[in-house]
Amino acid sequence: MQNYDVIVIGGGHAGVEAASASARRGAKTLLMTMAESDLGALSCNPSIGGPGKSQMVAEMSVLGGVMGRAADRAGIHWRTLNATHGAATQALRAQIDRNLYHDAIVDILSEHKNLDIKYEAVSDLDIKKKTVNNAYAAKSIVLTTGTFLHGVVTRGDEKISSGRLQDDGTYQAADKNISDVLRAAGFKILRLKTGTPARIYRDSINWDACEIQEPDSPHDWFDLGDENNNYHCPCYITHTNETTHNVIRENIKNAPMYNGDIVGTGPRYCPSLEDKVMRFPEHTSHHVFLEPEGYNSDIIYPNGISTSFGRDIQDKWIRTIPGLENARIARYGYAIEYDAIDARALNDKLQSKDLPYMFMAGQINGTSGYEEAAAQGLVAGANAAAYALGIDYLGLDRTNAMIGVLIDDITTLGVDEPYRMFTSRAEYRLNLRADNAIARLGEMGVRLGLLSADTYEKLYDKKRDIIAENDKFYAGYIARNEREIAAYKRDANMKIPTDFKYDNLPGLTNELIEKLNTVRPENIADLARIPGMTPAGIMVVLRKIKN
Q: 65-118 pLDDT, tens per residue? A: 999 999 999 999 999 999 888 777 899 999 999 999 999 999 999 999 999 999
Residue 269, H or E segment: none
Is residue 338 pLDDT above 80, yes or no? yes
Pairing type for strands 158-165 and 171-173 reads: antiparallel
Closest to 349 measured CA to CA, from 18, 122, 33, 3:
18
Range in 39-48, 50-59, 380-389, 521-530 the model is least confident about: 521-530
> What pLDDT is attached to residue 116?
98
Q: Tell whether the model's pLDDT for residue 127 goes beyond 70.
A: yes
Q: What pLDDT is recorded for position 535?
A: 67
> How far is residue 381's CA from residue 10's CA, in Å, rounded to a whole number?
12
**Rounded to an integer, what distance in angstroms lies between the CA atom of residue 416 and that of residue 196?**
20
User: Using an 8 Å Cβ cutoff, are 384 and 393 in contact?
Assistant: no
Residue from 336, 311, 238, 317 nearest 277 by CA: 317
Q: Does residue 156 register a pLDDT over 80?
A: yes
Contact assessment for residue 540 and residue 505, using Cβ atoms and an 8 Å cutoff: yes
List phi, psi (to 5°) of 173: -65, 140
- The β-bridge partners of 236 are 212, 290
Measuring CA to CA, how many Å separate 224 from each of 364, 404, 437, 458, 463? 31, 23, 13, 8, 10
Q: What are phi and psi of 96, to 5 degrees?
A: -120, 140
CA 117 – CA 22 distance, rounded (Å):
13
The phi, psi pair for 293, rounded to 5°, reads -85, -5
Q: How confident is the model at residue 471 (pLDDT cuts 50, 70, 90)?
A: low
Going by C-alpha positions, the residue among 414, 417, 263, 241 that lies closest to residue 324 is 241
How buried is residue 148: exposed, middle or buried, by Cβ count under 10 Å (0-12/13-18/19+)? buried
Give me the pLDDT at residue 481, please. Answer: 75
Question: Which amino acid appears at position 111 of this protein?
Answer: E
The pLDDT, as a whole number, for residue 508 is 83
What residues contact residue 11 under an 8 Å CB cut-off, 6+ apart?
19, 31, 32, 33, 34, 38, 39, 117, 144
Q: What is the rounded average pLDDT for all residues in the chain?
A: 92
- Say if residues 367 and 410 touch (Cβ distance below 8 Å): yes
Residue 207 pLDDT > 70: yes
Tell me the mean pLDDT in the region 436-444.
96
pLDDT class for 259, splitting at 50, 70, 90? confident
For position 84, what pLDDT does the model report?
Answer: 85
C-alpha count within 13 angstroms, C-beta hemisphere, residue 371: 29
Nearest to 71 by CA among 42, 39, 94, 41: 94
CA distance 29 to 119: 14
Higher per-residue pLDDT: 356 or 532:
356
Is residue 334 within 8 Å of residue 163, measured between CB atoms?
no
Classified as helix, coil or strand, 518 is helix
- The residue that leads in pLDDT, 539 or 254, is 254
Identify whether the C-beta of residue 498 lies closer than 8 Å to the C-beta of residue 468. no
Specify the pLDDT at position 498.
87
Rounded CA-CA distance 76/56 in Å is: 20
Q: Does 218 sit behind a cis peptide bond, omega within 30 degrees of 0 on the bond before it?
A: yes
Kindly report the number of other CB atoms within 10 A of residue 431's CB atom: 22
3-state secondary structure of 463: helix
By CB neighbour count within 10 A (0-12 exposed, 13-18 middle, 19+ buried), where does 465 fall?
Answer: exposed
Query: Tell me: the pLDDT tens digits for 132-148?
Result: 999 999 999 999 999 99
| Cα separation, 535 vs 84, whole angstroms | 24
- Separation between Cα atoms, residue 6 and residue 386, nearest integer Å: 10
C-alpha of 24 from chain center: 22
Q: Is 19 helix (H, G, I), strand (E, B) or coil?
A: helix
What's the confidence (pLDDT) of residue 65?
Answer: 98
**Which of the two residues, 412 and 280, has the higher pLDDT score?**
280
Predicted local confidence at residue 371, as pLDDT: 98
Hey, what amino acid is at 204? S
Contact predicate 111/16, CB 8 Å: no
Return left, alpha or beta for 50; rule: phi > 0 is left, psi -120 to 50 is alpha, else beta. left
Angle between helix 311-318 and 242-250 (nearest 10): 160
Q: Does residue 276 have a pLDDT over 70? A: yes
Question: SS3 sequence, 318-337?
Answer: HCCCCCCCCCCEEECCEEEE
Lowest mean pLDDT among 36-40, 185-189, 524-528: 524-528
Percent of the chain's residues with pLDDT above 70:
99
Strand 199-201 and strand 211-213: the pairing is unpaired
Mean pLDDT for 365-393 is 98
Rounded to whole angstroms, how far apart are CA atoms 92 and 72?
12
Average pLDDT in the 325-330 region? 98
Angle at 243 between CA 240 and CA 246, to 5 degrees: 105
Q: What sign for the dihedral angle of Cα 194, 198, 202, 207?
A: negative
Helix (H, G, I), strand (E, B) or coil at 128: coil
Question: Where is 32: in which H helix or E strand?
Answer: strand 29-33
Contact 26, 385 (CB under 8 A): yes
